[in-house]
Amino acid sequence: MEVVEDVVIIGAGIAGLATAVAFKRVGVRSLILEKSQTLRSTGAALSLFPNAWLALDALGVSDKLTSIYPPFSKGTVTDVATGAVQEINFYTGKGGKAHGPRSVHRKILLEALAEELPADSIRFSSKFTAIEQQELGGTSIVVLYLEDGTTIKSKVLVGCDGVNSVVAKWLGLSAPVHSGRAAVRGLAVFPQGHGFKQEVTQFADVGKRAGFVPLTHKELYWFLTCLEGENMARDPLLIWKQVIEKYAENFPQEYLDVVRHADLSNLTWAPLMFRHPWNVIFGNLSKGNITVAGDAMHPMTSDLAQGGCSALEDAVVLGRHIGNSFIKNGGVLVPEDMARAIDGYVKERKWRAAMLITGSYLSGWVQQVGDSQWWKKFLRNIFYAFVMPRLSNVAGYDCGTLPSVFAAIDLQHSSDKSD
């Protein structure tokens, strides 16, 4: 069977769904191919900073979430060894334009994005086996071969297939590398209410960092990152026991109490991976009408909480460039113009992506010192007091808005009639 589409997106994660929503907003239909049977709900929650909320505003989705999740404006970091506490104030945007940072359930975010799409926009249980670029009459098209024998021809292909992206590999991007650290993430449920303030609470120890932040009055998102993650078990129950009995045994009781209330069905362990920033700057982020977005383009460690945020930015920027081409050509997706639109997207995104990768890695390295040397602890304290507030300013980035294709076409038609 052969299928023809305007745009094909690989992966129904945050980047894939958001990109499809962006395309829909500018009048471009897209088909998402997802290898799972349903929406992927792996990952308990994530924190979205003002830049993400500006992107969600552009996508028309933010109002669905801000009514559920209250913002936080500050947090604390406790040195486990000394008990010293430092306060961190988080950047909340300029001039009241941006929402404050909030933590949201990953599943709820995915569902909010998916609800904006037509029912036939996602094709589940779809695995592709090969990608080709073909020239037909001077026009470049992408041909995808699926495992079930289906062939899909498309004017644009966007790989949103995660850290181990097949599309990124096809483009020739280097594989992500291990940061030397790993993270455990989960949800804690308090049926009667947890009683914590709407703040980020963190704890720093030698080679370990942990914390939690309220999602609702009954649920908290919690995490632990460590240098010894490669020795962590894979079974959720065993991971949970290791966190309590080994990795966080000397942490304050308030943190251990949160972990003891963990919902094991949402508990995950994963190494923290990243792509070298110079590969993002100088590598092939696109080839003609094929490109990548989200973790497929710029996997980064979670230390600045910008992985999901930057994926939402990608979606808006790519939607804007494709949308402008669509409008310029009278509401038609012209294949030969797609390479120029995608090239504009790549040029706009690669330097910011490289900066976020670098900032996240350095942030994690400073916060999670590997030994007890006094000068490294001093450096960490300086980081929390002076550098962290400034690094948080990257969260004030505004990726812009999406063009109104229908208004532009109406204006063009009105102009044609007047002529």
User: What does the alpha-carbon distance between residue 277 and residue 293 come to, in Å, rounded to a whole number?
Assistant: 15
Query: Does residue 387 carry a pLDDT above 80?
Result: no
- pLDDT tens-digit series, residues 72-99: 878 998 988 889 898 887 765 554 555 7
Q: Which residue has the higher pLDDT, 232 or 161?
A: 161
Q: Quick check: is 59 in a domain? A: yes
Q: Give the closest residue to 90 by CA, choosing from 303, 399, 392.
A: 392
User: What does the alpha-carbon distance between residue 159 and residue 140 come to, in Å, rounded to a whole number?
Assistant: 17
Do residue 138 and residue 211 come from a single domain?
no
Q: Quick check: is 334 in a domain? A: yes
Find the mean pLDDT for residues 352-362. Answer: 91
Residue 315 pLDDT: 98
Do residue 57 and residue 202 come from a single domain?
no
Domain of residue 332, CATH code: 3.50.50.60
Do residue 163 and residue 17 come from a single domain?
yes
Do residue 195 and residue 51 come from a single domain?
no
Do residue 250 and residue 228 come from a single domain?
yes
Q: Quick check: is 311 in a domain? A: yes
Instruction: Decide: 318 and 26 in contact? Cβ < 8 Å.
Output: no
Residue 155 pLDDT: 95
- pLDDT tens-digit series, residues 13-63: 999 999 999 999 999 999 999 999 998 766 789 999 999 999 999 999 999
3-state DSSP call for residue 322? helix
Do residue 267 and residue 370 come from a single domain?
no
Residue 42 pLDDT: 67
Q: Quick check: is 161 in a domain? A: yes
Query: Does residue 408 carry a pLDDT above 60?
Result: no
What is the domain count for the chain?
A: 2
- pLDDT tens-digit series, residues 92-130: 555 455 577 899 999 999 999 999 999 999 999 999 999
Q: Quick check: is 283 in a domain? A: yes
Domain boundary among 227, 254, 273: 273
Query: Does residue 323 carry a pLDDT above 90?
Result: yes
Domain of residue 239, CATH code: 3.30.9.30
Instruction: Decide: 216 and 248 in contact? Cβ < 8 Å.
Output: no
- pLDDT tens-digit series, residues 252-290: 999 999 999 999 998 999 999 999 999 999 999 999 999
Do residue 172 and residue 187 come from a single domain?
no
Domain boundary among 256, 273, 290: 273
Q: Quick check: is 308 in a domain? A: yes
User: What does the alpha-carbon distance between residue 155 and residue 4 come to, in Å, rounded to a whole number?
Assistant: 9
Residue 411 pLDDT: 46
Do residue 252 and residue 294 come from a single domain?
no
C-alpha distances in Å from residue 130, one per residue of 10, 144, 146, 165: 12, 6, 7, 13
Do residue 171 and residue 302 come from a single domain?
yes
Q: Place 184 in a pLDDT band, splitting at 50, 70 and 90.
A: very high
CB atoms within 10 A of CB 174: 13
Domain boundary among 273, 305, 326: 273
Query: Does residue 375 carry a pLDDT above 80?
Result: no
Do residue 160 and residue 288 come from a single domain?
yes
* First-last CA distance in the chain: 46
pTM given for the model? 0.91
- pLDDT tens-digit series, residues 347-356: 999 999 999 9
Bridge-based pairing state of the strands 200-205 and 177-189:
unpaired
3-state DSSP call for residue 125? coil
Structural domain for 212, as ranges: 179-273
Q: Quick check: is 312 in a domain? A: yes
Q: Quick check: is 293 in a domain? A: yes
Find the mean pLDDT for residues 316-343. Answer: 94
Do residue 59 and residue 114 come from a single domain?
yes
- Residue 22: phi and psi, rounded to 5, are -60, -45
Residue 139 pLDDT: 78
User: What does the alpha-carbon distance between residue 367 and residue 356 come to, in Å, rounded to a whole number?
Assistant: 16
Do residue 301 and residue 314 come from a single domain?
yes
